[in-house]
């Protein structure tokens, strides 16, 4: 830590022609300051004698207080100087400062002075005046008030972490205690906090608001609150705040308008320019990105919230289920309010057997700094249990274009051992990949339904499989209301095990709940895990995340790996597991320059400089349910 030093002011009273020097040294003052920022309420309330250095007098804690639970007593002096430890941004700043002083007797003469020092804001030992003490009432707390000049008020309303107060007392020498307490802004407690209001309009597709690096709200096309003037005061703390607005487009033209008021006065009125948002070539991704600086002087002070994780493994930090791009240990800056702080711990590079746990703590930020270690509590258990039904279909009919229609000899026949193999792979994929990649928050439960023997799955002239026709003929439509996902499992192998000819070889997800899955996607390796099955299940999570929860899946969604800098077998992980891991955990970094038709350079691990983080983490954290 850079060492700090202070010049001690030693203006002396003309008493007996003597000047009494301070009892504490510069080095002692440095040691006090190096203890770091303290709780403003505690310091200004003189709750701890350690929060104030004293020169020229002997200090001690006193239970005789005017507020709080303690005060500061001074004795053995006629000139004393008190200096507070450094403080961060204060709230409720007004043009009057006061403190309470209780003398042991009515002073025959004397005065009190108050100084403010905020070097980062250009305020250096600014005097707030002098109050005479010769009219004080003995053995009673007397309030002493000081006028604060407008330039000092303006400085106190900004953001800082180096504010100190200095109090100078000049009184007749006494061995009895002068007791001091309750340094405060007069009227500060009753000052009406700044009110911040927001109205958004014409949102297409999504509009994201972040304040001081923490995501606060994502508006979506058709949201009922669009067009309303809503109170968002809780997003802001005292001083200057950075408000970032990002417009996200998933296709076609985009649009958005933003209006902001502080205490009823308009401060922002902007919309996405037509040249950016309404052109024929409007891109997908982040199309408009603006940052505004808002001054809200009468909001409560922003507080440092330090997040740590026990052990040597860094954890990924979330605020209200949104990844922040930070790892532990880190310090967030948050205004007072209730927050959910999460920490995800998990392996970052292991081709088959991953680990993952998620820890969470509810935190109330008030008037003082907060330290939190969610890993001191047990990890969260499973939050989402997806019920997956596997529906075996005995026969599948493949068209061969050269014959102009179905060929009986080209019919796929599903064997019972195929079903056994798929179930084993699904369970292994859940245990070894999906559950740990979700930080242990989600898992699958699998049920095998009776095989459909009399209705075949039919290929549509080599244009794909007609699942709509199959569901209608087999009468399986009601399964979607009984299970979270239904896997329509069929064969692309003949009864003798040979593959059918010219098949439409795809696996697919449809309707947000169903999956079509052929035998050609069953892996035959010894590891059992099945990346294709994981991919199709994630498509349904992706659909729910976008259409029901109204969140953003990023450029090209689950098929946007290469657009976000992820490639097959990247980071030493199987298939696209490097991408899937981040997509499940909400940690895919999207940058403003990314485009649907551009393969982004390999991104490596998560970048703290991302413009936005995306993925299906909200689904896994709060549950996947078919509406």
Domain end position, chosen among 161, 185, 209 = 185
216 and 351 fall within a common domain? no
For residue range 117-129, list pLDDT tens digits in order. 999 999 999 999 9
- H/E segment holding residue 113: strand 111-118
> How confident is residue 318, by pLDDT bands cut at 50, 70 and 90?
very high
Total domains, the chain:
4
Mean pLDDT of the chain: 86
Instruction: Report the range of poorest mean pLDDT among 274-278, 457-461, 497-501, 573-577.
Output: 457-461
Residue 173 within a domain: yes
Residue 282 within a domain: yes
Q: How far is CA 619 from the centre of its chain?
A: 16
Average pLDDT of the residues in 546-556: 94
Residue 12 within a domain: no
Q: Are strands 58-62 and 71-75 parallel, antiparallel or unpaired?
A: antiparallel
Give residue 280's pLDDT. 59
Burial bucket for residue 301 (CB in 10 Å: 0-12, 13-18, 19+)? buried
476 and 548 fall within a common domain? yes
Structural domain boundaries enclosing 349: 303-376
pTM of the model: 0.71
113 and 161 fall within a common domain? yes
- H/E segment holding residue 472: helix 467-474
Give CA torsion, residues 464, 469, 471, 477, to 10 deg: 110
Helix-then-strand count for the chain, H and E: 10, 35
Residue 389 in this model has a pLDDT that exceeds 70: yes
> How confident is residue 295, by pLDDT bands cut at 50, 70 and 90?
confident
Please give the Cα distance from 192 to 299 (Å, whole number).
9
Average pLDDT of the residues in 426-444: 96
Average pLDDT of the residues in 366-388: 93
For 351, left (φ over 0), alpha (ψ -120 to 50), or beta?
alpha
Average pLDDT of the residues in 135-157: 87
326 and 468 fall within a common domain? no
Do residues 409 and 327 touch, judged by C-beta distance below 8 A? no
Give residue 463's pLDDT. 65
337 and 399 fall within a common domain? no
Residue 1 within a domain: no
For residue range 578-595, list pLDDT tens digits in order. 999 999 999 999 999 999
165 and 206 fall within a common domain? no
139 and 240 fall within a common domain? no
354 and 393 fall within a common domain? no
Residue 558 within a domain: yes
Tokens of 140: 């009673």
> How confident is residue 400, by pLDDT bands cut at 50, 70 and 90?
low
CA angle 168, 183, 111 (to 5 degrees): 30
Instruction: Report the range of poorest mean pLDDT among 60-69, 98-107, 204-213, 553-562.
Output: 60-69
Residue 228 within a domain: yes
371 and 499 fall within a common domain? no
Percent of the chain with pLDDT strictly greater than 70: 88
CATH of the domain at 154: 2.60.120.260
Residue 119 within a domain: yes
144 and 71 fall within a common domain? yes
Residue 6 in this model has a pLDDT that exceeds 60: no
Average pLDDT of the residues in 290-303: 84
For residue range 257-286, list pLDDT tens digits in order. 999 998 888 889 999 998 888 765 678 999
Give residue 9's pLDDT. 31
Domain end position, chosen among 242, 271, 295 = 295
Q: Phi and psi (nearest 5°) for 344?
A: -105, 130
307 and 360 fall within a common domain? yes
278 and 308 fall within a common domain? no
Residue 61 in this model has a pLDDT that exceeds 50: yes
Average pLDDT of the residues in 559-571: 93
CATH of the domain at 578: 3.40.390
503 or 161: which leads in pLDDT: 161
Domain end position, chosen among 295, 328, 363 = 295
Range with top average pLDDT, 94-108, 190-204, 422-436: 422-436
Average pLDDT of the residues in 170-192: 80
Residue 76 in this model has a pLDDT that exceeds 50: yes
Range with top average pLDDT, 284-293, 396-405, 603-612: 284-293
């Amino acid at each position: 830590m850079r060492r700090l030093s202070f010049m001690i002011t030693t203006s002396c009273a003309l008493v007996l022609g003597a000047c009494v020097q301070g009892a504490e040294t510069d080095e002692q003052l440095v040691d006090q300051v190096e203890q770091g920022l303290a709780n403003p309420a505690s310091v200004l309330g003189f709750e701890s004698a350690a929060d104030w250095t004293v020169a020229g007098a002997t200090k001690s804690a006193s239970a005789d207080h005017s507020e709080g639970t303690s005060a500061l007593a001074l004795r053995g002096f006629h000139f004393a100087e008190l200096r507070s430890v450094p403080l961060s941004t204060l709230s409720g700043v007004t043009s009057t400062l006061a403190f309470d002083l209780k003398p042991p007797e009515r002073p025959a003469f004397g005065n009190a002075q108050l100084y403010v020092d905020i070097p980062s804001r250009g305020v250096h030992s600014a005097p707030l005046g002098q109050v005479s003490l010769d009219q004080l009432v003995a053995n009673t707390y007397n309030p002493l008030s000081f006028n604060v000049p407008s330039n000092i008020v303006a400085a106190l309303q900004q953001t800082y972490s180096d504010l100190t107060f200095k109090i100078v007392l000049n009184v007749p020498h006494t061995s009895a205690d002068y007791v001091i307490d309750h340094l405060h802004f007069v009227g500060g407690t009753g000052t009406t906090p700044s009110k911040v209001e927001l109205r958004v309009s014409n949102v297409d597709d999504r509009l994201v608001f972040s304040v001081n690096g923490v995501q606060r709200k994502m508006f979506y096309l058709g949201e009922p609150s669009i067009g309303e003037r809503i109170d968002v005061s809780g997003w802001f703390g005292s001083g200057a705040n950075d408000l970032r607005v990002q417009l996200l487009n998933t296709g076609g033209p985009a649009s958005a308008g933003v209006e902001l008021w502080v205490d009823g006065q308009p401060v922002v009125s902007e919309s996405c320019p037509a040249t950016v948002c309404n052109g024929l070539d409007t891109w997908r991704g982040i199309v408009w990105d603006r940052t505004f600086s808002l001054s809200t002087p009468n909001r409560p002070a922003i507080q440092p919230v330090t997040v740590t994780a026990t052990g040597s493994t860094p954890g990924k930090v979330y605020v209200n289920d949104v990844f922040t791009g930070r790892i532990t240990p880190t310090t967030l800056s948050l205004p007072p309010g209730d927050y959910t702080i999460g920490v995800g711990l998990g392996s970052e590079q292991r081709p088959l057997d991953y680990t993952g746990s998620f820890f969470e703590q509810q935190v109330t930020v008030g008037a003082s700094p907060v330290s939190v270690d969610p890993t001191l509590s047990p990890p969260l258990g499973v939050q989402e249990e997806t019920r997956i039904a596997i529906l075996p279909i005995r026969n599948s009919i493949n068209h061969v274009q050269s014959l102009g229609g179905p060929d009986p000899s080209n019919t796929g026949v599903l064997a019972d051992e195929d079903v056994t193999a798929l179930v084993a792979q699904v369970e292994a994929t859940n245990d070894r990949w999906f559950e740990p990649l979700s930080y242990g928050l989600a898992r699958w439960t699998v049920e095998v339904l009776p095989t459909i023997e009399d209705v075949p799955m039919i290929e549509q002239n080599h244009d794909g499989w007609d699942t709509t026709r199959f569901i209608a003929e087999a009468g399986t439509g009601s399964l979607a209301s009984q299970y979270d996902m239904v896997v329509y499992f069929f064969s692309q192998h003949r009864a003798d095990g040979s593959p059918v000819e010219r098949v439409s070889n795809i696996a697919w997800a449809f309707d947000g709940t169903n999956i079509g899955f052929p035998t050609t996607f069953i892996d035959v390796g010894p590891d059992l895990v099945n990346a294709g099955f994981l991919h199709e299940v994630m498509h349904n999570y992706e659909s729910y995340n976008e259409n029901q929860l109204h969140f953003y899946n990023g450029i090209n969604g689950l098929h946007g790996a290469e657009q976000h800098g992820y490639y097959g077998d990247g980071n030493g992980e199987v298939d696209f597991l490097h991408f899937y891991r981040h997509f499940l955990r909400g940690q895919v970094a999207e940058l403003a320059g990314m485009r649907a038709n551009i393969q982004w350079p390999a991104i490596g691990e998560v970048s703290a400089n991302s413009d936005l983080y995306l993925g299906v983490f909200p689904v896994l954290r709060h549950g996947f349910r078919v509406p």
